[in-house]
Amino acid sequence: MYRYDDIDRETLADRAAEFRDQCARRLAGEMTEDQFKPLRLMNGLYLQLHAYMLRVAVPYGALNADQMRKLAHVARTYDRGYGHFTTRTNLQLHWIKLRDAPDILDELASVGLHAIQTSGNCIRNLTADPHAGATADEVDDPRIWAEVIRQWSTFHPEFTFLPRKFKIAVTASPKDRAAIRVYDIGLRLHRDDEGALSFEVLVGGGLGRLPHLGPVIRERLPVRHLLSYMQAILRVYNRHGRRDNIHKARIKVLVAALGPAEFARQVEEEWSLTDKAAVDLPGTELARIRAGFAPTGFETLPPVSAAFESAKASDKAFSRFARRNVMFHKTPGYALVNVSLKAIGETPGDCSADQMDVVADLAERYSMNEVRVTYEQNLLLPHVKLDDVPAVHAALVGAGLATANITLISDIIACPGLDYCALANARAIPIAQDIARRFSDPVLAENIGELKIKISGCINACGHHHVGHIGILGVDKKGEEFYQLTLGGSAEDDAAIGQVLGPAVSAERVAPAIDRLVEVYMRERRDGERFLDTFRRAGLPMFKEAVYAEAH
């Protein structure tokens, strides 16, 4: 994995020093909260319902063991011993004291971590396919390009005060594991018959109040021009994006208002005037970054492991774990091992400091020192030998991290909701816990198959409810928490915005409603259909009737 050099490290140190100075001025009363607020937000420090929340960036979801241990140490020392991994692959610490924030940033900087651009109207921490470097279906390693963008977007002087926040996702696979269609910019790498790489560029996707799937504005952008083209997109947005209404300030609104073709024309015009050579990285720098992600240390192994197969044959729980959580690696004899942060009855995405340490140790010992954070709020050990999977599984069982439910009904995305967040209308976590408990029988869950439930505590949609197979949105009805259900959404290759099922229901009726929906699916499904497929074939009315019939 790419290691920060002196330039990267000194930049983090300079940032931490700047923030220490700003915090000191605030604590000494030299700055008002109003003046301080935008500065702390630029360092990922939010004031929430009960305390400060620090959002630590995990660029493209990639961590090494030392970084994971440092997160554990920070959670243990400065917070309540746990953290929350988010749909943007960041880690949120929810119980931070302002006076500790500068020390925390110093600690993070010591291992190449930071909270830069995890808030504010700037280019945010970017996400990439969590299977990067391990999956057979990628045409290149998307982390290379994500790192290129990370550096370019760090303290970009022109794009620090955009109309609104700006999020970028990168994938290099036909199978979309980075939700690129719901990002401000989604990038998908292609390789042509001659081996040349290009980007398919999508702009103007997003969730929130006005969900949009991003249209393609350029089919094939030669990869060497990535940064100059990004500058052109951002410049058109910075100059012409709406600033009169915070709810209409995202780039999706500009793209929709102009139409994708006119937006693309403006970008191309700006790009044609751009001195590309001044912006685009020279080939030597691209090669340097690429070298940072070169695969090293893979052994030549047989594709089948006797240890793995015999564990599957003798241990039912391991067998289920292997089916649900273990995936093919492009290198024979290796696997990707998903670490579920969705233990039944726990908070989705939460991870204790002790669990982080366990994962760090496993990464170091068994996964070439790498851990990934996924936007579905789980962790992933990307390079585990099949021979070692039983040992990894045993260690995960010991840490409460071996729930075999990846992509199943209890693998729920949920934002922190009203338990923490000042923006929320309703709680998300207890709803997720209710549903997970109801479907805690692993045999039943596996029989139901892939079903993605996504819960947001408010319309800002941090829990991606619009693109859940079943989406759940918390709303406020005269001071009471209610939940609106949507069906048929997806954030993947078959991306779609879900359709509203009917009137919002009260908290205690959510899990029973999910029961009804699952019953309809189980009754109606045809061979091999997932919940989503059955819904799309059979349509909304049948599901609606099942949920609302008993209300009368």
- Residue from 243, 276, 365, 530 touching another protein (CB under 8 A): that is 243
Tokens, residue 166 = 């700006």
- State the nearest-atom distance from the C-beta of 105 to another protein, in Å: 14
Q: Which range of residues in 169-177, 284-292, 364-372, 390-398 is near another protein by CB under 8 A?
A: 284-292
> How many residues make contact with another protein (CB under 8 A)?
39
**Contact status: 11 vs another protein (CB under 8 A):** yes
Which among 272, 125, 263, 271 has a CA at the least distance from the CA of 205?
A: 263
**Contact status: 290 vs another protein (CB under 8 A):** no
CA distances (Å), origin 139, targets 143, 172, 401 = 12, 6, 31
DSSP string, 450-491: ---EEEESSTT-TT-GGGSSEEEEEEEETTEEEEEEEES-BS
- Residue from 288, 323, 437, 523 touching another protein (CB under 8 A): that is 288
**Contact status: 17 vs another protein (CB under 8 A):** yes
Vertex 248 angle, CA 243 and 253, to 5° = 110
- Residue from 50, 97, 239, 477 touching another protein (CB under 8 A): that is 239
Phi-psi region for residue 259, left (φ > 0), alpha (ψ -120 to 50) or beta?
Answer: left
As a whole number of angstroms, the distance between CA 415 and CA 434 comes to: 15
- Residue from 32, 245, 284, 296 touching another protein (CB under 8 A): that is 284
- Residue from 29, 157, 297, 541 touching another protein (CB under 8 A): that is 157
- Residue from 20, 73, 76, 156 touching another protein (CB under 8 A): that is 156
Instruction: Report 85-124 residues binding another protein (CB under 8 A).
Output: 121
In the bound state with another protein, the residue whose beta carbon lies nearer, of 235 and 438, is 235
**Contact status: 5 vs another protein (CB under 8 A):** yes
Residue ranges of E strands in 75-184? 82-85, 91-96, 127-128, 168-171
- Residue from 1, 98, 279, 522 touching another protein (CB under 8 A): that is 279
As a whole number of angstroms, the distance between CA 406 and CA 7 comes to: 39
Instruction: Find out whether 321 and 404 touch, Cβ atoms under 8 Å.
Output: yes
Tokens, residue 57 = 């960036």
**Contact status: 480 vs another protein (CB under 8 A):** no
- State the nearest-atom distance from the C-beta of 369 to another protein, in Å: 24
**Contact status: 193 vs another protein (CB under 8 A):** no
CA distances (Å), origin 427, targets 48, 51, 152, 497, 525 = 14, 17, 37, 22, 32
**Contact status: 269 vs another protein (CB under 8 A):** no
Binding mask 37-56 for another protein (x = CB under 8 A): -xx-----------------
> Dihedral sign, CA of 411, 529, 130, 186?
negative
Residues that bind another protein (CB under 8 A): 5, 7-8, 10-11, 14-15, 17-18, 35, 38-39, 121, 151-162, 227, 235, 238-239, 243, 273, 275, 278-279, 281-282, 284-285, 288
